[in-house]
Structure 1
Amino acid sequence: MSLFSKFRGPDDAAAGAAADPPPTAAQPAEPIALESNSYPVWPSDRPIVVGRPTPVFEPVAVGDEFRRVPYRPDTVLDGWSTGAFTVRAASMRGHLHRHNGAPRQDDLAITHALGHRLNVAVADGVSGAAQSHVGATTAVRYASQWLADSAPAGDSDIEWHTLFQYAAWALIEQTVTVLGLPEADAGLADQLLVTTLVVGACDALADGTVSARLAAVGDSAAWLLSGGQFIPLLGGKSASAAGLSSSAVDGLPRVPAEIATARAIVRPGDVLLMGTDGFGDPLGGGDGQVGDLFRGLLAGRVPSLVEFGHALDFSRETFDDDRTLVAIWPRPQQ
């Protein structure tokens, strides 16, 4: 039975009942052969359903009110291994934006150096800001490059406040490009380009573990998947005294006086996750069906790029936000 059949609807589960379990990364999947010039049936032609699904529809093109240059795809999918790390990453429009023609407001960027340093940035443009997708892309590209150029190696402290201040200024400067203004306008950036940002500098250690230094503004978050548990490291929705999550989002270009930071050691068998609330909200504490799905996907194995993206594009009623997730596994040094 397919690893993910338990999360599909009854018809999907029956259709996949005879499928073999997905192979691990060390055992590549057998290619699907074409026979009699017919297209093979492949499980990814349907979304993985968790609980009650969202309606099925053809995505709508991005509307005229949003910038069309540079081109912004519905989905970004990336993954590779280098030195001490294996990475899988995906960013995609949620069902709401696919339905109403808004662009993908999430984005991600990753840089690596000499196989022993990985720099990751994930951002979620705030829905109420009309050009927040531009803000998200600007923030992740600036932050990942700043970490590559300026973050010290090892356990040294990173000047997080400096990073977020410079990233905020990069957003403000975008008002010249986006609006054609003669000079940058911080007020308009705060209206149009608002975005969350979570960043991480990951260093390979001699004992085969990875040291991660993390920081965030807004509700994008980081988790450690260890021993089958999703351990929150930082970010995520804040809760009221009554235990209710707040929908209010802080974001750049406003930089808080105190930056949320965290450190973690990622051991072999663990997975470091960084993502937006499109993943974090349905994950919750990791004890439900979404947690089960991603435990099966990530724990003890590395999925293919397409498998990773297919799982992140799961269908669950009311959870229709854009989703971005980066997964990092320590990789034994050769």
Structure 2
Amino acid sequence: MPLNEPLAVLNPGGRDPMIDYAPGPGMPGPGVHPPVNFHAYAAATQGAFCDAVEQVLAGRRFGHCLVLLRRRLQPCREAVRRLRAAGITVWVAWKECSSFQIAEQLEDPKLWEIYADILAMSQGIVTPTMAPPPLPVTSVELRILDIPTPYPVDLAAWDFSSHLAERRGIFLGTRELFTASRNHLAALTMALRVARRTGTHVTVINSEKGRGRRMLEVLGLGTESGQLRIIECRLPYHEYLRQISWHRVVFQLDRSGVPGQVAGDALLCRTVCLGGNSAVERIAFPNESYPALAEGDAEIHLEALLTDDAVYRAAIEASQQRALRLLSFAVVGQQIREAMAKRAAGTPE
């Protein structure tokens, strides 16, 4: 793979339309899919995000394709077969890729057989988390690439920062009340305790609709006092980032081991993400993430970030420097190209 070759990312039969990132990731705005998560792999290499094999093969532009795996593995296996038959080097990755999510998707033993077939036809598996994916015993020699999802922190158009004087309160990063590993309720109650002590507010997105609203009201978590502000509707990505940028801290106690979009969103807003254990958090915010930051210290650190400008500015500066060095489009895009070029040439990592 030449070091300037673009990468195609294929979500077989997915709902996201094809996006060609040859001109770059574009400008944030309505109708533009943000270049985050697996879209970011394509955007960082000026490749394309596709939902059909035909899109990958059109124009013979791509020599490498990353195929995203989902619970319905049969279409994924067929896509890998067709790409291999066309001479494309295939890599795979789980679309929902935390250890918990992969385990749930492989509950059926028949799916393990299909998964093994896919891996046998693949050059390797890519993981954007810090946990290796489970592999069948027949795939012990499979190549694993640990590549974090990049964020366009090096592109001025994706700078969503606001002035420090405009920032108020805590933005809760998680939004799923009933997913145990998110620890959403624990984070919400902790954030409200700190908000009451510091005279600020907490903003939360209610993704559970009526069920979530009833739960928040029954628990009496500050909905009447105004300390808890609830966003009820789904926001376009650029408006969601604006909401984050008006807050002082993004806080969560997520233990899902996910790639880390919430932390990446915080980086684009030039603010701090505190408390979770995602890959991006542990890379960009090592002192503010679990396990380096013990759960018992999270509340103390959250209050310090809200009240001490020197602590807050230092955390932002350190995280932005790490992000530019380890998570930017330029750096991770080159990492993707180099890793796949080595594999294609048969050279070791």
TM-score, length of structure 2 as denominator length:
0.29
- Which is helix-richer, 1 or 2? 2
TM-score, length of structure 1 as denominator length:
0.30
